[in-house]
């Protein structure tokens, strides 16, 4: 599916900024912060517009947000099965202590958890911490 088709399938208009940001996120091997996107696409748009694009992508199920230890939001593309109503990206993330990169990890099953009666789980976060292949 092309980037334009992905945007339209989620009810989003195709604009230059949306196309370029989604392409950047799809091609990245790691989750990117808004600042990372701004550095990679410096002439694209102002910060407020970029924030709205990332927020709209998350609401539409195109990206998922990961919060790093410094409280910075980082974004990575979602699985095709994600929707605006439900993200199916229940997977672990790897955080490199050397470069602060955040990477999606597949193949690790989410643990089954029994929560107290009346509790509702909205999100499960599993983080693996170490050094990425680049940092050794």
State residue 87's pLDDT score: 58
- Cβ contacts of 64 within 8 Å, gap of 6 or more: 58, 75, 76, 78, 82, 87, 89
The CATH code belonging to domain 3-130 is 1.10.10.10
The bridge status of strand 127-130 relative to strand 73-77 is unpaired
State residue 2's pLDDT score: 93
Q: What pLDDT, in 10s, does the model give residues 31-65?
A: 999 999 999 998 887 899 999 999 999 989 899 88
φ and ψ at residue 34, rounded to 5 degrees: -60, -40
Whether 6 has a pLDDT exceeding 70, the answer reads yes
How far is the C-alpha of 64 from the C-alpha of 125, rounded, in Å?
12
């Amino acid at each position: 599916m092309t980037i334009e088709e992905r945007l339209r399938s989620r009810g989003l208009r195709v604009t230059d900024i949306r196309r370029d940001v989604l392409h950047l996120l799809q091609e990245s091997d790691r989750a990117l912060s808004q600042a990372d996107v701004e550095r990679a696409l410096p002439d694209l748009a102002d910060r407020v517009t970029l924030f709205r694009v990332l927020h709209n992508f998350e609401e539409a199920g195109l990206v998922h947000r990961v919060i790093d230890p410094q409280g910075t939001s980082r974004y990575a593309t979602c699985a095709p099965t994600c929707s605006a109503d439900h993200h199916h990206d229940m997977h672990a993330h790897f955080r490199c202590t050397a470069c602060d990169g955040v990477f999606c990890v597949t193949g690790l099953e989410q643990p089954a958890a029994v929560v107290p009666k009346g509790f509702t789980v909205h999100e499960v976060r599993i983080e693996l911490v170490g050094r990425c292949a680049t940092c050794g």
